[in-house]
Amino acid sequence: MYNWIKSFLLLTALTILFIWIGGIIGGQTGMVIAFVLAFLMNFFSYWYSDKIVLAAYRAKPVSENEAPELYSIVRELSVKAGIPVPKIYIIPSPQPNAFATGRNPEHAAVAVTSGILQLLNREELKGVLGHELGHVIHRDILIQSVAATVAGAIMLLASMARWAAIFGGFSRDDDNGGIIGLLVVAILAPLAATLIQLAISRSREYLADKKGAELAGNPLYLANALKKLDSYSKQLPMPNANPQTAHMFIVNPLSGKTLAKLFSTHPPMEERIKKLEEMAYSN
């Protein structure tokens, strides 16, 4: 319950930040427009965010005949979790990674890269897919999708504010104050949106790791998988990875980029592995 309340408050903070930026750019009218846009974005994210992110990474649905072992693992874990078997997609990328999306367990999808299927054995893949189903069970996929949409919109507004400050657009009577306000928004808003998004993502990852370990039957399955994924993801970049959706993957697809590591959407890999190993050896 605590994590749900925390996530709700953080999403509310993102929405308020979005509306505040609208006010800085366009005054009271801007706030009203931003409020309407925030409502529409949240509504749109609820119904269509899964389709958008799957299309963005060129994920293709696969049949059981095409990926029998993958289906076997997902079905086994879904039955154990007591949820419908989600749709399964494969992303054509050599970087080993995976994510889940969808608004609830009845409308969920799990996507894995072609690279992860080549790298992991059955037990390790079981741990990874258990983690993703953990997100489905906790309904993290909806929270994260909405957060990604609102954060992306804030980045866009901040960019508009930066250009407005440069060219003097959206100006009100207080020219100097208005320009300073726009510059503050342009600099601080993306940082604030990122930090809020990080807080949402990191708290959900630990819970998904724990649930994934329980579903897989052995925490070391996921711990061993994370060790491999952490190493290989740094060597094999995902060119089309988007910072606004990086938090959805089991390991940060941008982890090979030095600057991206400073604002990682994921908890430290060493800490995640340590917690899983402690789970395994405490039983």
Note the residue count of the chain: 283
Convert the pLDDT of each residue in 39-92 to its tens digit: 777 777 778 778 888 998 999 999 999 999 999 999 999 999 999 999 999 999
Tokens of 49: 């965010």
152 vs 69, residue with greater confidence: 69
- Please name the helix (run of DSSP H) or strand (run of DSSP E) that holds residue 72, with its range, or none: helix 68-81
* Average pLDDT value for the chain: 81
Alpha carbons 39 and 37: distance in angstroms, whole number: 5
For the segment 195-221, the average pLDDT, to the nearest whole number, is 84
Residues marked as catalytic: 132
Alpha carbons 103 and 109: distance in angstroms, whole number: 9
Alpha carbons 131 and 120: distance in angstroms, whole number: 14
pTM (whole model) above 0.85: no
From residue 239, give the alpha-carbon distance in Å to each of 74, 200, 231, 275: 27, 25, 17, 31
From residue 208, give the alpha-carbon distance in Å to each of 43, 100, 202: 25, 11, 10
Residue 278 has pLDDT above 90, yes or no: yes
Beta strand pairing call for 60-61 and 87-91: antiparallel
- Residue 162's pLDDT band, with cuts at 50, 70 and 90, is low
Q: Of 32-41, 216-225, 244-253, which gets the smallest average pLDDT? A: 32-41
234 vs 94, residue with greater confidence: 94
How much of the chain, in percent, has pLDDT values that exceed 70? Answer: 71
- Residue 204's pLDDT band, with cuts at 50, 70 and 90, is confident
Q: What is the structure's pLDDT at 74?
A: 97
For the segment 16-33, the average pLDDT, to the nearest whole number, is 76
Q: What is the structure's pLDDT at 197?
A: 63
- Residue 35's pLDDT band, with cuts at 50, 70 and 90, is confident
Alpha carbons 23 and 42: distance in angstroms, whole number: 19
- Residue 196's pLDDT band, with cuts at 50, 70 and 90, is low
